[in-house]
Amino acid sequence: MKNFIKKIMLVMSIVILTLPIFTSTVNADSTDQSQPELNAKSGIIFDQQTGQVIYKENADEKVAIGSITKIITLYLVTKAIKEGKLSETDKLQPTQAQAEMTQKDELTNVRLDADKSYSVKDLYSAAWIVSSNSAAMMLADKVAGSQTNFVKLMRQTVRDWGIRGAKLYNVSGLNNSDLDSGMYLGSKNSENKLSANDIGVIVKHVLDQYPEILKTTSMAELSFPVDNETKNYKSLNLLLKGNRDYQEGYEFDGLKTGTTDAAGESFVGTLPMDNTRIVTIVLNAQGEKEDKDKRFRSTQNLVHYLKENYERKTILQKDQTVTIDNKKYKTYEPVYAWLPKNFNVTELRYKVSSDELGFTAIHKKQTVKLIAANTGNGYLPFKKADVKKVLHKKTNQKSWWDQIIEFFKHLF
């Protein structure tokens, strides 16, 4: 019996002593990584270039988003400007209802007067930098003829991007109860809702297509005409350089705040880091109502978590071969990914991408998209917009059946 116990003790000692050997190489999807202190209903941090998700929490849950809505609104306005459908120098005049909304402190940050006109450029900047609701409404009216038509355009846009179940009722992000008829679709108490994943897909599309938007969102101050003078307004993004929550080394240059009773205090942030661009999404930051920094503090927690625990590593070199199911693929260029600092790159596994994200490789003269399959939280569910072909019938050409009928009509 004593010998048996000695043998058991010896085995246990060997297991304990060799345990560090087996755990020294940490898999990228290991749960041993420390978790960021998000303190929010949901959130996500991802690489905008590749769509790789580094961390996410409740990312599929549809929640109220407030003025984060304006990312979609202002994307469509940007698109209209680029397509020449309106000019930055065009002058727009607010309706009486839109002007009156700017007298309510809880609904706006810039004052608009019904008897004055404002340039598209000033309204566009006001909607981005200080989240002016009436400015967003005026721009939507100009682009689509009415706000309800514009909401339909918003819905179609996100559907084209593969987003399903989006709840979009107005162009500003306010609760419909704050709006007059003609400013919204849906019921009187409806509110715009998206998931963190949805917003991530939207932001990637927007910044992929129009990165110049960041020239506006990086402005820490808005200059806007009021009466016969120019008034300055501080950006609502407190992480910008010169603002209260700025931290050196974390150079945020966007993107959008969102605040309603239902949405709480939310924020979509973006900043350049390690030769790529990082996007953070914090929805409904938790904490005391008087704490106006909580969404930005949660955002900082996400980027600190990334910088302290991960590295952007070269995982494949140019012209390197990857074998998947006995098929060989060759890379076009170096491939990068965010991995835990103690992760062994050779343990990455690859697969053919099921959507539009991934790196390009070639197999028998055919190009495909590949992704690293075990990077922890995977990638955004990103798809490019479908291009639908519209077939136009020739109205002056009769069908085969019509021609037969016509033949017999003239036969007698």
Catalytic residues: 67, 70, 131
Name every residue whose Cβ is closer than 8 Å to that of residue 200 and which is 6 or more positions away in sequence. Answer: 44, 46, 53, 59, 279, 281, 380
Tokens standing for residue 335: 């491939």
Q: Which two tokens stand for residue 349?
A: 């596994």
- The binding site consists of 256
The β-bridge partners of 281 are 44, 268
Distance of CA 327 to the CA centre of its chain: 34
Known binding-site positions for substrate: 256
Q: What is the spatial distance between Cα 383 and Cα 245, in angstroms, rounded to a whole number? A: 34
Q: What are the structure tokens assigned to 357, written together?
A: 């994200």
Residues 258 and 264 sit within 8 Å (Cβ to Cβ): no
How far, in Å, CA of 235 to CA of 389, rounded? 42
Distance (Å, rounded) from C-alpha 74 to C-alpha 141? Answer: 12
Rounded-to-10 torsion of CA 396, 399, 400, 406: -70
